[in-house]
Structure 1
């Protein structure tokens, strides 16, 4: 006899969740029912232009990339725009794209040129600050004049110009060689820009030479720029993608050529008419870092470079011989003795008035190790065993923040003339940051975070609009729930205490007829025997409370919906579905095999309610059903998938194995979202499918799928649409004009970016494509929430945005909600 064991390995559920989390879908954000038009479904052969309208973004500005301290103000370049903190003011001024003029919210660099103009380098280009208008102005030169629209580094030149560093970009039309299919990584490098005239000058790239060497740059992806006291330009880089012959044929494509990662290191340009360059490429010497994170020059004119293998100092410019002690180069790295640096990755460097070297450290790039201060006593390098090694003094500086100090990654730092300290942070475990940390000369720390009165995270997994109050609720993947009531923000985090949020990784939000706001969260904290977090709870205005009499904690809940009778439906990864009737605290479980063959399986990824019939529709994915024999040998067959419907009496299922012509991947159909379209009388189920030799490492050939069926829905009534290279359809919603919106993302899988984040079905124009080129802040979209005047979207790691079908020409006429959200 074979015993059925759904979890023979205990913590193996954590690994199951790691995969399942990629398919989490918010059922509340996919609820439909606002449509009025009843046009037939008639997609165009090719996507039309995006609908006219305006995008506004909301973002967290606590993931810091760079700091610029000026007098009584501190500017920070963040993943949520530019944030300025002014002494004596209660909160920050946050500048966002597009409403404040920035071309993109990913700001990597800040620099003020010799004319006093402040510049920002963003993922969408260069921008200058207009202090009179209190906004940014994007620099939009012709595409053929710049190496890439994505700016990664800035440095002011002595003659008043500006050096601009770029990263490579994906061009879907470019050809890597004559025999290859279209699509190539192009651009990047360093270019000169004259801010006074707006002209771009010389561009320097990594050109392939002999023996795998590149010159004059070791890579086209630039990470840091510095102009030293002698006017020399230093360029830090990291490895980049090049088209090259593979060691072995690609198993997915069978081809001998493909995109490989190579290069990286440091380069130096002399300030002469001969345009002389010196470059140190990773691999050419044992100590050269492949990734240079930071460049800084001290009072003596020495250049310090922080990278993935410690701290390097160059004292002889181009004559420096890396990896040779005493030849113009010295290296500080973690030593087996433990004395000195506790970690090898140096993310930030600056100097105090005494000449001490301050550095922000990490183990890799995702585990913070605080700050270290080096007093080298004027002797550099000091190899172990030398008499001078004993004159180095190392001092550790701990950072304030969460109990787990490694969660705070010091990504930027600057010391003020008065002895103060500012530290920019990232929080890689949660994908966000902790804002700015400041320390007075007396040693008093303060925290400056936009999350204190704003969106707590840019990893927005859910957006839901309260149907009665219009409040906006945001669920995040790592920092709980936040509510915007039109005036103020309120946020909740998991604490483990009664009355608290069930978890910080929120998967769904729904609104009950009794006024409660329901939230589901996936688990992330293993308590040794069971999960410490995860589950479902309702906010009653005072506290978060779990439903009375729940037969399970529902730690794997990933979808919620409230039906026409006020019952709460819960969809889980591994427990099927359940309903809770708050009127009598009654529970009903729907699970295989008890629910019968009409039930789609134990992994319920989405829930939608037909607003006319009251029928409840579920989207399913395959679930690994562990089966073990008496000897303990276990197998893991995958079961379930497709779509199922509850009509109040029983279940009906549509799957590929039962004859439904679904386009989604798998034996039955891997569905990741579902919505009911009232205007068209049609259910829509989103999923994904591989095209040809699809490739998760590159992202090529992973298409979004959309299967639709008009009620009452016979097996042969399903029709399908595919969205090439978009990733899975993660959310579906219908706007006030009856347009169907489909949100797609690949959960960051693949080195090649997805094609577009949103597809819209318009009754007149057919399918429209909305991408970053149309103002969408990012091409990976996780959630949708219709509003009377537009559509809210939750972005995988870029915050949230709202699209409104009209053009905003003057900030004075903005709706109050939008104006407050972006200030």
Structure 2
């Protein structure tokens, strides 16, 4: 029945009104939605610029975790460090038929499918590392250009081609199922995008519009922003059920979850004064995070449009020539959200990745898109109004509101010199004091004007490295020492004090007022400046509890009263009690304790009491209670590699902010979270006898049940090598690796992330199990991957050959044993005779050596060495209840006169005669000794009183008193004798001393006599 014209017009008007309402209400265009630093935060990418990774058209991640890149010149498999490229080869039926990859898809069974520009469809056969082709034929796939692939829900595929929609069933046969969905009624030009609903309905994006296909119904064309026929290139269903549509020249559109199809899709509007999204080609759509959609664009504005779905605000990510980690190319080809959350972006410039999950650290590279060059901020100040003052390396100051971005500039032309701003401090009346490389300046609170501050007795252009305010006293540190200025309410500052040499080093780098003191950090140490005194803190690099020498870059006092120092070269140094007097005891934190670098630049304490440190290799958080250190790097969102000394401030929202050489790092402590992702561990390459083998079977989770890697006899010398990877793409250089071959290795063998290879050769035959370990970026191990290894024996290592060899060896051994036994017996007799003779010689030699060691060669008497042993022995026996003993010390009278008168030969003859007469005078049980020179001694046993001692002494005097004929002369002889009897409780030294005193008494009595010392 025909409808009146007026009703048609009314319905069209109503449809247009509804579309307009969705456009106005669905996507409000607001640039600022109350997120601190949201206007300024930089999206930092990691770039992989190898030529094989460039010109990516499609991306996919397989079940094992590999990322596949379909490029215009081949198919690439990427594991985060290493890639393998597959090229077309017309001479092989199991190779790619075309190197231009249009589409990639991983089906419900984990198999990778690839659609090409002119080569039709292929499936990657992981078991054999090759491809299975599905050619375009009239009765099957109707066109060789495959631009879209999607599951059909029954282990088959829907395939979008240049001729329309095709279907491949689970058995690999093409069917005419598309006709049941009305695919034959789709407009000419082919299908560019496909999306299947849970109920089996199929969304098809074509060059002539968006269609919904259902079995038994004609295709339903949907309106986009009230228009039909717009070319549709991309489709995405997000986690909230919303349908996002990317067009070829009209931007992006949205169907809200549950929205009526008849209302059409609403356009996505771009924030800002000059939006261009609605005139752009959408080349990719990904859900970066809940309520955050990324649109890759191509042409016009270019780059990536990031939509905050909740607030309806957008921002655009673009390439910047002055920022190496910006988007590599504004023409985005495709994007993929990898399963751990990382977003890959492919372009003609290569493959880039961005991790949206680290929310604890924001990077600020630019404050104004119109200005070239990245921020370099050597000084910061949190002002009372909540704004942040940023001193610039090139001179001048930027004033930033975390909510609204750049709010003011104090440029060189406004009173500041063109030199680095090194220090900032708030004044007592709201003004700001500025330390530069060319002197001290003061700015108004609004940051519009600055003027030089003149300091009496100080050169105006002298550098200012540190500032600190106490009441109305401003402390100024420079390379010329420490200056204290009184700041009156009006008028010029007044110099109160100057400290130079007493600091130990006049180069002041940091200041910290504490109580009545000011702690002063210098380039070589630390000093405490009191009201009248200056204390230099001693330094000692070797002593771990002393202050190490070095550049003190910043200081803070924690809630427990400890003084923390960042040391440019040592790390962090902690003084337990800054208020205590006496010896200063310090603790040191360095790279061994977890700091990412020895060069620590700035310390800040957040509202929870945690200490944050910037270094020359990232940031660190220190728990002040346990001193546990957590290093933060690229994986945690830290994209400023190194920082300025003493450059940092705590914002009024409790955010530590650090100034770096290539931007600001804004820390949100509450957003810091642990990384718990468990990466897949996969074998990436196997080489056996220099031949590459497919590795997929060992990635299928079979473990010990997998077929063993068999090393034949021919391959044993060259052996095998196996590459493996843990597929944590966030910071693959921090992943840890180890391996061991059970049955061969005694323990785990660690290997570097850049060389993840287990290699063996010349293994003994047998069955082994190669165990592989890989971790995420935090070092948490993934489940162990196991690869069975079997080494086949050579012919001579087989059991039968070994048994025959053993029997032959036994027979030969028996004969040889008999012959050798006969020989050995004969040889034994000869050796025994030789040993006996040699033993007798050794005993005689030993006796001679002992005689030489313990006897006097001139007299033949025992020497002093034997005397000492004998004296200790007799005294020890007497102390244990044995017989008493007596010591006689004997000295020749006037022996020197004999030597001087008759010569040394006469003296030697006299000593020999004395020894002979002494042997004759003492009893057999007594022991005579020559102690040296003309000194002799006798140890008497069983002599305990004067009555038994006197006859012995008189006999010695008489024997030695007879004259000695020598040559033609007669030598008169006499001796003096000192005696001492052992007393209970006295040791051998006391006995010797008493005998020595008795000897002196005898000589004093006129010689040729004896005396007993009680």
State TM-score, norm by structure 1. 0.34
Structure of larger gyration radius: 2
State TM-score, norm by structure 2. 0.28
Between Structure 1 and Structure 2, the one with more strand by share is: 1
Q: Which has the higher contact order (CA 8 A, sep 6+)?
A: 1
Between Structure 1 and Structure 2, the one with more helix by share is: 2
